[in-house]
Amino acid sequence: MTVRRPTRRTTRPTVGIVGLGYMGLATGLAFAARGLSVHAFDIKPEIRAAVAAGRTPYHEAGLARLLQDQLRAGRFGVVDSVATLAERSEGLFLCVPTPSRPNGEIDLGPLRRSAEEVAEALRPVRGFRLVVVKSTVVPGTTESVVAPIVSERSGRTGAGLGIASNPEFLAEGTMVRDAVEPARIVIGTSDARSRAWLERAYRPFRAPVFALTPSGAELVKYASNSFLALKVSFANEIARLSDRLGVNVDAVIQAVGHDPRIGDRFLKAGPGFGGSCFDKDVRALVHRAEELGDRFRSGDAALRINDDQLAYVLDRVRSAVGPLRGKRIALLGLAFKDGTDDVRESRAIPIAEALFSEGATVRAHDPVAVENFRRAWTPPNGTGAGELVLVATVPEALEGADAAVLQAAWPEYLRWPGAWTRRMRVPLLLDLRRALDRGRARRVGLTVIGLGAGDPAGTPPPRPGASP
């Protein structure tokens, strides 16, 4: 592995983006913002139409503004075919989903199809073309799966074709910043021309470039996400100990994270990690290690701890509220975290399923993710005992509630007014993020049990005005 900044050259490559999901759109716009000419394609016509009109299909801070700016500047455009993309772009970045299968293995179907379409489109094109796997794939995929498909289907060999891996490191909620101002660039190539092309493409970003083999670059992505998942799981185990000891996990972690060898980023206890990356990527690396005849024990431990944390959350709810049948619970925050509308692997889903299965009425709210949650929600089989109601406002969620569960710490929840408390039958909040200020809670008559805050979860508080 080498780490270096590329030497100067004036000509800037042209970039093609295949797939306008969260990552593909942010990646393409970041290249455009850095002065490159970018052409983009998505298999869904409605996505192409929305993006071409300056509308982002996803909630992500700063993304809409960045899209509109780059469309006006003429550096970013949407095309209607892969053939046009291949003709106009020197480097084609495959930014398609790689969903997880039940056994942890990733589904390469979308990537295979994209590689085949790109390869066919390259047949009549003259000049060098580089196919870059931006999608998250297990080590070995670029060379053993994508490269043979593209080479055979395109009829290109040698100097006319390059294949590379270039994993992304974007976090939802900060995706625009992460794409435009990356901490590092990781590229995986097996020939000098492909490496030189990628170094030129990324020169305007002024970030350190880590050049590895394709498999090495792929492993960097999985190792990074697995380590971050481990940090989250470690913090969650410390949170459970904190509750038993009656201490606050944030005070403990602040002191632990101040050690420069450790650092405090991602040492944040909560209901468990979610989103499109951590769970999927750790499972995939566990599965890949088994294929290679090895064990990825730390990854397996992170997954087990994450499952334990969900069970612990539900135990805390039951301890605070009592038997759930017939109770009304407000669930606040349906996205896997605040700042995004993504509900993939959101802890809100299994929490709602458990409450529903035990006979509770769940009134759920999120500022931006309600529709995504509605599409993701399937009532648990064989129950029907409870009810799920998706509401448009927080007061609707809290009306007559026996408790509220704060799952994602959206800023509007943290401004909790007294009128919200008065909507509740029992003024009790289970704060899974320890986000609501305790002073504010006292002023508005709200009892808070914070996950990992060392709060006892016993008899719920009485309704305001009720007789002792």
pLDDT-above-90 percentage for the chain? 89
pTM confidence score = 0.90
* Closest-CA residue to 184 (of 213, 221, 229, 219): 221
pLDDT at 464: 52
Residue found by looking up tokens 């605070």 in the block: 320
Residue-number span of the structural domain to which 97 is assigned: 2-212
Q: How far apart are CA 385 and CA 357, in angstroms?
A: 6
In three-state secondary structure terms, 377 is coil
Q: Is the pLDDT of residue 8 over 50?
A: no
412-433 pLDDT tens trace: 999 999 999 999 999 999 999 9
Same domain, 197 and 259: no
Q: Quick check: is 277 catalytic? A: yes
Same domain, 139 and 261: no
* Closest-CA residue to 262 (of 271, 252, 272, 270): 252
pLDDT at 156: 87
The CATH number of the domain where 19 resides is what?
3.40.50.720
Using DSSP bridges, classify how beta strands 76-78 and 37-41 pair: parallel, antiparallel or unpaired.
parallel
Is 95 within 8 Å of 19 (Cβ atoms)? yes
Q: Is the pLDDT of residue 374 over 90?
A: yes
Average pLDDT in the 217-223 region?
A: 97
Same domain, 255 and 361: yes
Average pLDDT in the 248-260 region?
A: 95
Same domain, 54 and 197: yes
* Closest-CA residue to 55 (of 92, 19, 25): 25
The active-site residue, picked from 170, 219, 277, 286, is 277
Tell me the pLDDT of the chain averaged across its residues.
93
pLDDT at 466: 47
Domain total in the chain: 2
Same domain, 207 and 95: yes
* Residue 226 in domain: no
For residue 93, the Cα-to-chain-centroid distance in whole angstroms is 20
Same domain, 354 and 432: yes
Instruction: List, in order, residues 6 or more apart from 294 with CB less than 8 Å away.
Output: none
Q: How confident is the model at residue 463 (pLDDT cuts 50, 70, 90)?
A: low
Same domain, 356 and 455: yes
Same domain, 26 and 166: yes
Q: How confident is the model at residue 344 (pLDDT cuts 50, 70, 90)?
A: very high
Among 14-18, 158-162, 298-302, 361-365, name the one with the lowest average pLDDT: 158-162
pLDDT at 243: 94
Same domain, 61 and 198: yes
* Residue 459 in domain: yes
pLDDT at 379: 87
Q: What is the DSSP letter of 409?
A: -
42-64 pLDDT tens trace: 999 999 999 999 999 999 999 99
* Residue 241 in domain: no
* Residue 289 in domain: yes
* Closest-CA residue to 122 (of 159, 153, 77): 153
Q: Which residues of 49-72 are buried (b: 16+ CB within 10 A; e: fewer)?
A: ebbbeeebbbbbebbeebbeebbe
Last residue of a domain, one of 212, 233, 265: 212
Which residues face 129 on adjacent strands?
161
Q: DSSP secondary structure string, 89-121?
A: -SEEEE----PBPTTS-B--HHHHHHHHHHHHH
Take residue 240 and report the two structure tokens written for it.
Answer: 């459970």
Q: How confident is the model at residue 384 (pLDDT cuts 50, 70, 90)?
A: low
Angle of CA points 222, 228, 234, to nearest 5°: 130
387-417 pLDDT tens trace: 999 999 999 999 999 999 999 999 999 999 9
Q: How confident is the model at residue 460 (pLDDT cuts 50, 70, 90)?
A: low
Same domain, 174 and 260: no
Q: Is the pLDDT of residue 351 over 80?
A: yes
Q: What is the DSSP letter of 376?
A: H
Q: Which residues of 3-32 are buried (b: 16+ CB within 10 A; e: fewer)?
A: eeebeeeeebbebbbbbbbbbbbbbbbbbb
Take residue 18 and report the two structure tokens written for it.
Answer: 């295949």
